[in-house]
Structure 1
Amino acid sequence: MVTVIEHPNYLKRAEKLLTENQRDEIADIVASTPLAGDVMPGTGGFRKMRFAGTEGKGKSGGVRVIHLFLTSDHEVHLVDVYGKGEKSNLTKAERNELARLATILKGE
């Protein structure tokens, strides 16, 4: 069984972007498919998952969910969510910050 952990930044942004049902849907997806999304280079293993939800906008109009799966702990950490229109890619500084967080979460 995989535990889904919603970090404070994720929760803050999710409140503005997602309904409660969409949050639950995302948690269900990453719990059942923790390797969903593409690995983002330079982030220590974080993935960017596209989520369209049930709003009928398709993946192009949905949100992007940033998460990390820790196989040893069977945990998925949801750390950020943003609308597709907000940004296309993370900056180098954002990727570096995720890499630092990955190191902490992995206990390295």
Structure 2
Amino acid sequence: MRRVQSLLDAESYRLLQLRLAADPEAGSLIPGTGGLRKIRWRGSGRGKSGGVRIIYYWARVHDTILLLMMFAKNERSDLTRDQKKILRRIVEEEYK
């Protein structure tokens, strides 16, 4: 939760939750991850260049959205191959 608070204010986080609840497929599928998605979101008080990337998984059967990672746009552009493997394994063990 600390990571969320450092990147999003309460209102931005609430709007993100509403967006994903209304459209769980809003984010782009990340190839080779077993269904993980990435959505770009505006960070709180960061201006245009202060975007946030959110990696999540929609477990349809459970009707649950699992927020897995969140990072500022200027921290990294994408997940590494190892990160993709680890996140995929987490999802497979818990939700498939």
Superposition TM-score, scaled by structure 1 size:
0.80
Superposition TM-score, scaled by structure 2 size:
0.89
Structure 1 outlier segments of 4+, above 6 Å: none
CA distance in 2, matches of 1:61, 1:54: 8
Shift of 1:94: 0.3
Q: Aligned pair 1:102/2:70, yes or no?
A: no
Shift of 1:71: 0.9
Shift of 1:75: 0.7
CA offsets 1:49-92 (integer angstroms, 9 cap, x no match): 0112575834x531011110011111111111111011001101
Judging changes above 3 Å, is the alpha-carbon distance between structure 1 residues 25 and 53 closer, same or farther for their aligned structure 2 residues?
A: farther
User: Is the contact between residue 43 and residue 102 of structure 1 (CA under 8 Å) also seen in structure 2?
Assistant: no
- In structure 1, list runs of 5 or more residues that go unmatched: 1-10
**How many matched pairs?**
96
CA distance in 1, matches of 2:54, 2:46: 18
The alignment's C-alpha RMSD in Å is 1.7
Bigger relative contact order (CA 8 A; separation at least 6): 1
- In structure 2, list runs of 5 or more residues that go unmatched: none
